[in-house]
Amino acid sequence: MAAKRILLIIGGGIAAYKAIELVRLLRKAGMTVRCVLTRAGEQFVTPLTLAALSENRVYTSLFDLKDEVEMGHIQLSREADLVVVAPATADLLAKMAGGIADDLATTLLLATDKPVLAAPAMNVRMWLHAATRRNVRALRGDGVTVMEPDEGEMACGEYGPGRLPEPEAIKRAIDEALSSPLPQEGDFSGQPDFAPANHRPLYGRRILVTAGPTHEPIDPVRYIANRSSGKQGFAIAAAAAAAGAEVLLVAGPVPLPTPPGVVRVDVETALEMAAEVQAGLPVDAAIMVAAVADWRAADTHRQKIKKDGSGAVPPLALAENPDILAGLAKSAERPPLLIGFAAETNDVIDHARAKLARKGCDWIVANDVSADPMGGETNRVHIVSQDGVDSWDRLPKQAVARKLMEKIADELDLRSPPDSD
Ligand code: C5P
């Protein structure tokens, strides 16, 4: 197996000396290490020490890379398997969270397409400050693994969390990040502080998800809709983003928060959803989870339809909505992997097989709704494809979403292997 390549960014802080030990540990483990020192970092450790230990050139400023023929900053940011920031100062974390790129280190962090692990070190008050908490939450939401600092006496004499984790602990976190476990349940469901999100099997893939119901107005106060909480679709969008995909979520009207890292477009009607889906193409995979209303009112009344007291009901003419999934299957920009959902109460698999053929998609995720999962937290699904049926146990919707991402990643890798750079 090729030696793992680490790009180590060393921020300014008294703990920077521990980065020297970290370089030693990584080299001992057979990894190649390229070091980048921030201007503040240079005050604490010298490029010479790091160059000697890493046996590699050390970079300190964007101008070191002036000779773009030799090594451009984009290349430097991408040739590693993992980018490690240690120590990650409050200032560096803030810049990372804000997308600021005003020196070599922050430019590399913004330009990289590789997982990032940050080992923070700062004064306890700085670590506990609302601004740092906010930045750490944002970074974890973006998929950066931010380690918890150690607790103890600080160089400044105060006591509490903020010490740089020991080099051995950072090395373990690096090994873990490189071994790439899938994000665990809950990573994206209100606990971003615990998101490891360092494995991205869908990195470089663009995924479209539709979710929720559509509302088809009859008049300004009434509409036609299917029952749908949007939870499964949102969990799928969240899992796709956590797995590294670029995710476009076209969402019908549901009061759910946008999962971290997901681009969300809100729509009301099936026609709007169809247009946004079209605008989102091309994608590597589309997962159509939305419960699209089959019909819309043929004429929308601009004013509220009034009861006139006579007992007569107003005529309600319906028009058929486009089938977004079937339309996508036939379009010139058909995604290489097209997945539909089906809610069934009986003969789940037979109905799903028929739907697979009718819609022209690659998989139907058939949902057994006989035990009332509408709005519930769990789902029992069968993945029906030309190859057969993959039946899963009843699982939390987040777990269904994660398992589906693994299956999608495998399928996409099979069809078009990811770039090996
Ligand atoms: O036909 P049915 O509504 O049962 O099909 C469900 C699947 O088709 C889901 O994937 C749903 O998102 C998609 N669909 C669609 N446009 C419609 C109706 C359903 O994309 N108008």
- CA atoms of 366 and 350, how far apart (whole Å): 10
Ligand 1 contact via 237 beta carbon (within 6 Å): no
pLDDT in tens, 370-417: 766 566 778 899 999 999 999 999 888 889 999 999 999 999 998 887
- CA atoms of 409 and 267, how far apart (whole Å): 28
pLDDT higher than threshold 90 for residue 325: yes
Q: Identify the weakest region by mean pLDDT among 24-28, 45-49, 82-86, 157-161.
A: 157-161
Q: With beta carbons less than 8 A apart as the criterion, state whether 34 and 80 touch.
A: yes
Common-topology check for domains 5-179 and 194-306+314-415: yes
Residues 6+ apart with CB under 8 A from 71: 65
| Domain edges within the chain | 5-179, 194-306+314-415
pLDDT higher than threshold 50 for residue 69: yes
Candidate CATH numbers 3.100.10.10, 3.40.50.280, 2.40.110.10, 3.40.50.1950; the one for domain 5-179: 3.40.50.1950
Catalytic residues: 156
Beta strands in 121-261 (DSSP E): 145-146, 150-153, 159-163, 206-211, 215-219, 222-225, 246-251
Q: Using the atom order of ligand 1, give the atom closest to the CA of residue 226.
A: 3
Q: With beta carbons less than 8 A apart as the criterion, state whether 283 and 248 touch.
A: yes
Q: Which CATH superfamily includes the segment(s) 194-306+314-415? A: CoaB-like (3.40.50.10300)
pLDDT in tens, 3-23: 899 999 999 989 999 999 999
Strands 262-266 and 318-320: unpaired
Cα distances from 378 to residues 91, 219, 229, in angstroms, run: 42, 35, 12
Q: Identify the weakest region by mean pLDDT among 136-145, 211-220, 309-318.
A: 136-145
pLDDT at 103: 93
pLDDT: which is higher, 159 or 171: 171
Q: How close is the Cα of 244 to the center of ligand 1, in Å?
A: 26
Ligand 1 contact via 366 beta carbon (within 6 Å): no
Ligand 1 contact via 270 beta carbon (within 6 Å): yes
Ligand 1 contact via 323 beta carbon (within 6 Å): yes
What pTM does this model have? 0.59
pLDDT higher than threshold 60 for residue 34: yes
Q: How close is the Cα of 341 to the center of ligand 1, in Å?
A: 7
Ligand 1 contact via 290 beta carbon (within 6 Å): yes
Average pLDDT over residues 162-175: 93
- CA atoms of 374 and 73, how far apart (whole Å): 50
User: Structure tokens of 84?
Assistant: 């490690």
Question: Residue 45 corresponds to which amino acid?
Answer: V
Q: Using the atom order of ligand 1, give the atom closest to the CA of residue 364.
A: 10
pLDDT higher than threshold 50 for residue 189: no
Q: How close is the Cα of 105 to the center of ligand 1, in Å?
A: 47
Ligand 1 contact via 208 beta carbon (within 6 Å): no
**pLDDT category of residue 186 using cuts at 50, 70 and 90:** very low
Average pLDDT over residues 229-239: 93
Residue 22: closest CA among 183, 132, 166, 201: 166
Report the mean per-residue pLDDT for the chain. Answer: 88
User: Structure tokens of 230?
Assistant: 């949007």
Average pLDDT over residues 117-142: 90
Q: How close is the Cα of 210 to the center of ligand 1, in Å?
A: 10
- Which residue's alpha carbon is nearest to atom 5 within ligand 1? 342
DSSP state of 213: B
Q: How close is the Cα of 325 to the center of ligand 1, in Å?
A: 6
